[in-house]
Structure 1
Amino acid sequence: MQFIANDIKKTVEETIIPIINSLINGTDTDEEIAKETGIKLNVVRKILYKLYDLKIANYKRSKDPETQWFTYSWKFEKEELIKQVRDECEKDLNTLNQELDKEENNMFFVCPYGHIRCTFDEASDEEFLCECGEELEFQDNSEIIEHIKSAIKETESDLNSFTETVEQ
C-alpha cells in the first residue's frame, strides 16, 4: 500500500505541481505549459480540465481569426483553492470536535468479539447483551479521546501553517 501512495505522490509532484506552478507564473496555454514542463500535451490538458472541475482553474476560449482554431487561456484560481482548503479543514475540525464531544460525554460498551460498540443508553436498551449473545463490556475510551485531540491539534496546526504560507 505504501508503494501505491509513493507512486501517487511522485505522479503529483511530477505533473500537477509543475502545471500549477506554470499557471501561477503566467503561462496560460496548454501548449506553452506542455513545452515549459516537458509533460505530454494530452496529460496537461487532462490535468487542466481536472483542475477546472475542482474550480481551481478557469479558462477563456478565443478564436484565432486567421486559423479559425480555438485557443484556451488558463488561469489558476488561488483564492478558490485557499477557500476550499480552509473549508475542508474547518469541516474536519467540526467533525473531530463532534466526535470528541461524543467520546467525552458518553460511556461505551463493546462486544468482546468486536460486533458492536454502543453508548450506555443503547447498551441498556439491549440489556447489555450483544446480538451474538455475549455480555457487553465497558470500554475505556481514553485512548480514543487522546487520538481525537491529537488529530484536532494536527489539523489546527496544518490550517495555521497553510494560512501563514498563503498570507506571505
Structure 2
Amino acid sequence: MLNNPIIQQVLLEILGDDINGFNVLEALTELTEVTDDEISRQLDLKLNTVRKLLYKLYDARLVDYNREKDEETNWYSYTWRATFTKLPGVVKKRMEQLLIDLKEQLEVEENTLFFYCPRCEFKYSFDEAIDYGFRCSQCNGVLKEYNNKNDILMIKNQIKIIEEELALNPLFS
C-alpha cells in the first residue's frame, strides 16, 4: 500500500516533505509496537525528529499509541503502532479536498482576467493590476495581459485524473 504514488504523495504532504517519515512508518510496520526511543535508535534519528513525525502521523490518524507510567520514575513511555486501516480513508479525504480546491481554482482562472510582469513573471488579477496602476509591485515594469488557457487546461487535467482515481481505484471504494 505504501508503494502507491498517490498514497506516497499524501504521506509526504502529511509529513511536511520529510522523507524520514517513511522510515518511521517502515519501522512501525516491521516492529508492530515500538517506542519512539527504539525508532530513534534503529533509524539513527534524533528522538525529537522521530517524535515530531509520529505526532504528524498521529494527527492524520495513521498511528496510535499506548501510554504507560513507570511507577519508579513517574515517567511516561509511549508505545506506537501504525493504523493503516485508516490510510485509504485519509487519502480519499485529502484527494476530495484537493478536488474541491482545484475546482475553486478553476473557477477563478476561468472568470478572472490576469496580467503579468514579463520581467518578474509575477501574476496579478485584474483588480490587483488596477490597484498597482498596471505596474509590477516588484520592479515597476508595465504589466501585460496573461493568457491563462494553459493553466486552465492543466487544472482541468488534474481534476480529471483525481476524479478517475477516486472512481476507479479499489482502494477508495
In which range does the TM-score fall when normalised by the shorter chain? Answer: 0.5 to 0.7
Q: Which amino acid aligns with 1:164?
A: P
- Do the aligned residues in 2 keep the contact of 1:109 with 1:139 (CA within 8 Å)? yes
2:135: which partner in 1?
A: 130
Q: Select the structure of larger CA radius of gyration.
A: 1
Q: 1:103, 1:141 within 8 Å by CA — same for their partners in 2?
A: yes
**Correspondence 1:22-41 to 2 at 5 A:** 22=30, 27-30=32-35, 39=42
Tell me how far apart the structure 2 counterparts of residues 114 and 89 of structure 1 sit (CA, whole Å).
32
Q: What TM-score, normalized to structure 1?
A: 0.58
TM-score, with structure 2 as normaliser: 0.57
Aligned to 2:53: 50
State the SS of the aligned residue for 1:112. Answer: coil
What's the secondary structure of 1:61's corresponding residue?
Answer: strand
Cα contact 2:28–2:80 (8 A) shared by 1: no
Equivalenced residues, count: 148
- Letter aligned with residue 129 of structure 1: F
Matched-pair identity in %: 27
Partner of 2:65: 59
Q: How does 1:11-160 map to 2 (within 5 A)?
A: 15-22=23-30, 27-30=32-35, 39=42, 47=50, 50-55=53-58, 56-62=62-68, 72-114=78-120, 116-123=122-129, 125-126=130-131, 129-131=134-136, 132=140, 134=142, 136-159=143-166
8 Å contact kept, 2:89–2:172: no
Kept in 1: contact 2:25–2:82 (CA 8 A) = no
Tell me if the contact between 1:29 and 1:71 (Cα under 8 Å) persists in the aligned partners: no
| Superposition deviation, residue 144 in structure 1 | 0.8
